[in-house]
Amino acid sequence: MKRTLLLALAAALAAALTAHAVSAQHPAMPHAAMPPGAAPTEPGQAAFAALAEVVRLLDADPATDWSRVSLERLRQHLIDMNEVVLRARVSARPVDGGLVMDVTGEGRTARALDAMLRPHAAELERMEAYAARAEPIPGGPHHLALARGELVGGHGR
């Protein structure tokens, strides 16, 4: 019942927001520039699209245990990602073998940095192409990401 209600609410919200976004933006769309049959496929906001995609993927998996799913936690993670990408200050400098980035912010952005950088550095560290770590500095975490092998100097400048 809980799963059915969640899916019904998600579907209704998706339909309502998509209809609103499309109707609200319709007059400003450059129809003459669009090829016949072309239409947007995203619901207009990346975080909403990510949430909708996760619900769709989880719903398609019969092994999904909805009692363990927290869409609110995913939403908070997406908010943190938004804070880091759009509001954090990044000062990058090249070093032998890669790049050092000082990533700082205040308030909500600083909290997002605390939540995001260490786990994401750990994920990069697991990848063969990168060595990464996050360390605290005044004003925010310090993120060090070094490319390995052929990627040295190829990304992030």
| Mean per-residue pLDDT, 13-17 | 44
Rounded to an integer, what distance in angstroms lies between the CA atom of residue 96 and that of residue 106?
30
Q: What is the pTM of this model?
A: 0.62
What pLDDT, on a 0 to 100 scale, did the predictor assign at position 29? Answer: 57
| SS3 label, residue 144 | strand
Rounded to an integer, what distance in angstroms lies between the CA atom of residue 134 and that of residue 33?
46
55 pLDDT higher than 90? yes
The tens digit of pLDDT for each residue in 112-132 reads 998 988 888 899 889 888 888
CA distances from 50 to 28, 96, 103, 121 (A): 25, 36, 25, 22
Q: Where are the domains of the chain?
A: 1-19+43-69, 89-151
Cβ–Cβ contacts within 10 Å for residue 131, how many? 16
The tens digit of pLDDT for each residue in 77-104 reads 999 999 999 999 988 888 887 788 888 8
Higher pLDDT, 34 or 71: 71
CA 87 to chain centre: 14
